[in-house]
Structure 1
């Protein structure tokens, strides 16, 4: 009969449960449970490990001899926001003959998405571009805007006054002045309208998003003072013009400029809207361009539904999904 000491020697070594807290960037991101089988005669440890679920990262863990753990991140699939926006736009009703293009930027993450790449008449959204060009010229000259220029700027942006826009269009040098400024601002596919037809300036949604980044983002061609000035004017739009991309906001904040233009040859409407909206504390820059609308009202509905769809691509990631859904219901009503 074996002695009790011999039985103890033949007994299998116990499994050892190790709990590792994985630290990444100074914060615990997950707990990894490692079950290790110790082997006699040398301290070698074999193990398998599975990280706990994490919304932001996956990790691969191996345990070397002596109990040293090695943690390596596993790359996550890249989100294609353009595809998500195209899917969101499938729910937007576009009447026969109309076209729409959308671009959106999540200011917090820097991620963006675009739908459509056609060129459209700007109508009155070019007034933001006209003022940006004027401010850039004033910066270069080391001067402030004159009292007359400020008066025109206020009327042009807040009330969409065309007489004021024409005065400042002349002041910047018409299309040549606009195009020169846009080359510096990064608008590569925008071309100023002929003569005094500033409303027939051609642009893309992507270019309008670039302009919005100059006004609301981290681009620096425009000075901080110039950006603040433009933002304030775009946040004081006349009550009867408070439509468009603001439909995607949750009520906590927006700043915008709209454009609407009935084309004489066809009787169809260009309806555009650009600006910044806030949803659950997150800021989004949105540009929506459309043409071929049978009525102004239908064009506004198209632009608003498109803005809501654009923000919905990111709102779920930023925590604003409920607000975006509420805005969608408002735009559809």
Structure 2
């Protein structure tokens, strides 16, 4: 047999092997464009560590990671929403469970009363001292319970909150009608971000910048912004525990602003304030990551 006859089959086998390698399913070539990826960051199932979902932008990913550690230090669930003033994409972190507004609803109440009757001493003490008797005076000045409910709800709509409805009847004995308004953090954040941009709100915002010691926590612990303005609210949970929440505005050194709203539910008022202080200080350290804007 000739050498050519022996080598011919071997050459055919080698050619087939090379062809198969060239058609393999693995490839080292990357596509020219990669579609955007959404990352869901989920905390372990626990009553003290609710799950959080964030778009995988560098800002939200960094904030989500840092917030998880800060919330662990706070010792109880905390929810935060940050919205640039004038509107824009919100940053939502932590526990977004809908809860009643307590005294944070005194802000739209005071605005409604001022629009109807002008500025008053009751407006001042309702915001600065969170005085319930003064807030009840503002509520009564708006007419019947139904008229008062409609007036305060109208202020919320003016601030971009399209869903919250202030009740017209007492839902819980011993507590104010308006204080039992269910106000989600997202809706409260939207409203607070429009607060400096709404007509006739300058006086109420200035009062929020002068609150008494009983509200100087949470956002008020943030030392880096040029200025802060807040309104706190607190009270027992529907079945157990204690709810502490706050709406606030921060003015950055460049003049732009953001709304920050936060809420927590724990064993007591003191534990709630301590938890919001931890988050307030964490927000201050991450100020550069937070959104900001201006009224248009």
Which residue of structure 1 aligns with residue 28 of structure 2?
none
Q: Which of 280, 284, 289 is matched with 1:307 structurally?
A: 280
Name 1:177's counterpart in structure 2: 151
Change (3 A) 1:188 1:87: farther
- Any stretches of 5+ residues in structure 2 without a counterpart? 1-55, 171-175, 292-296
Distance 2:230 2:239 in 1: 28
In the TM superposition, residue 314 of structure 1 has moved relative to its aligned partner by: 4.5
The alpha-carbon distance between structure 1 residues 270 and 87, as it changes in their structure 2 partners (threshold 3 A), is same
Runs of 4+ in 1 over 6 A off after TM superposition: none
Alignment partner of 1:103 out of 70, 81, 92: 81
2:268 counterpart residue number: 295
Q: Does 1:256 align with 2:230?
A: yes
How big is the shift at 1:90? 0.4
1:130 corresponds in structure 2 to: 109
C-alpha contact 2:242 2:268 (8 A) present in aligned 1: yes
Structure 1 residues 80-123: Cα deviation after superposition (integer angstroms, max 9, x where no partner):
64444322220123599954321113459955311243311111
Over 3 Å counting, the alpha-carbon distance change for 1:280 and 1:184 in structure 2 is closer
Change (3 A) 1:131 1:287: same
Native 8 Å contact 1:103 1:205 kept in 2? yes
Residue from 77, 96, 115 that aligns with 1:117: 96
* CA distance in 2: counterparts of 1:88 and 1:174, whole angstroms: 42
Per-residue displacement from partner, 1:139-187 (whole Å, max 9, x unpaired)? xxxxx60xxx511100100111100111212333333332233233221
Matches within 5 A, 1:13-162: 79=57, 81-93=59-71, 98-107=76-85, 112-115=90-93, 116-135=95-114, 137-138=115-116, 145=118, 150-162=120-132
Residues 232-247 of structure 1: pairs in structure 2 closer than 5 A? 232-247=206-221
Is 1:202 matched up with 2:175? no
More strand by share: 1
RMSD value over aligned CA atoms? 3.2
Larger Rg: 1
Separation in 1, partners of 2:153, 2:83: 24
Deviations 1:212-268 (A, max 9, x none): 12222x4xxx31xx22111211111113431121112327421111111124742x2
Q: Are the equivalent residues in 1 in contact too, given 2:217–2:276 (CA < 8 A)?
A: no
In the other structure, the counterpart of 2:259 is: 285
What is the CA–CA distance in structure 1 between the aligned matches of 2:153 and 2:242, rounded to whole Å?
Answer: 25
